[in-house]
Amino acid sequence: MMRKWLFTYLSLFVFTMFFPTLSDAQVQWGVRAGMNMTNSKFTQADGSVDETDPVVRMQIGLTLDVPVWNDIYLQPSLIYQGKGFKGRGVWSAVTGEDSEFKVNLSYLVMPVHVVFKPRIGSSGRLLVGAGPYIGYGLGGNWESETDLLYDDIMLAQRQGDVNFTKDGSVGDMGTYNYGEPWDYGLGFLLGYEFMERYSVQVNGDFGMANLQYKYGDYDTGQELKNIGLGVSFGYKF
């Protein structure tokens, strides 16, 4: 079921990105860059939620505005997004409950938003949009305030790599296993476009995929989801 959903989504994305000439109206390519404030929601099997704090990361990518009808547009995008979280006591390998542990993640994300762009004044438009997104984890790194230990044996100093995996029992010492690489969810945007080329917008992403890995065949019953809120500036060619 998941593979079928992914295939349908990717087919829609490729169709709108590479066959824009099917629309009679003008199609506009654009670039967008800004910052994300993201976090990871860890829910334990008993329903309790770990306390984590957001981190600020970069986002940058390409957009395409395809006119559909009147002021309604289809907007597929291909975006690099930095994500992550920070917290204390999140990874037991980090010594000391008071030691802050920070994870920086890199994702390639493909949102497809339906955007309503009513005109405001002579040169501006309101932007209101929502739609699904799909993303893939490319990697990342972690850092902590103390060394990484296992039974008093130093595994790593205060930084290392992040691995995306479906099996948490597999991995190198000193590498933090975050979760499964494929992510999907729903996003929204709210902004303002002016002079027909420039725009500023707020965007939010709410992950629906449970990224929590298993340990071999053992299911922990835990949940892990990505959430984020960002602001970005765009330019259309």
- Tell me the pLDDT band of 172, cut-offs 50, 70 and 90: confident
How far apart are alpha carbons 109 and 83 in whole angstroms?
Answer: 11
For residue 31, is pLDDT > 80? Answer: yes
Nearest CA-CA partner of 27 in 75, 78, 61: 75
Three-state DSSP class for 186? strand
For residue 144, is pLDDT > 90? Answer: no
Where is pLDDT greater, at 145 or 17?
145
For residue 25, is pLDDT > 90? Answer: no
Show the domains of the chain with their CATH numbers: 2-236 (2.40.160.20)
Where is pLDDT greater, at 135 or 1?
135
Q: Model's pTM, two decimal places?
A: 0.85
For residue 23, is pLDDT > 50? Answer: no
- Using left for φ > 0, alpha for ψ between -120 and 50, and beta otherwise, residue 207 falls in beta
CB 132 within 8 A of CB 185: yes
Contacts of 227 (CB under 8 A, 6+ apart): 38, 39, 40, 41, 205, 206, 207
How far apart are alpha carbons 183 and 206 in whole angstroms?
Answer: 10
Three-state DSSP class for 5? helix
Contacts of 225 (CB under 8 A, 6+ apart): 40, 41, 43, 185, 207, 208, 209, 210, 211
Question: With pLDDT > 70 as the criterion, what percentage of the chain qualifies?
Answer: 80
- Tell me the pLDDT band of 43, cut-offs 50, 70 and 90: very high
For residue 24, is pLDDT > 60? Answer: no
pLDDT tens digits, 193-215: 999 899 999 999 999 999 999 98
- Tell me the pLDDT band of 160, cut-offs 50, 70 and 90: confident
For residue 10, is pLDDT > 60? Answer: no
Give residue 159's pLDDT: 82
HSE on the CB side for 126, CA within 13 Å?
A: 6
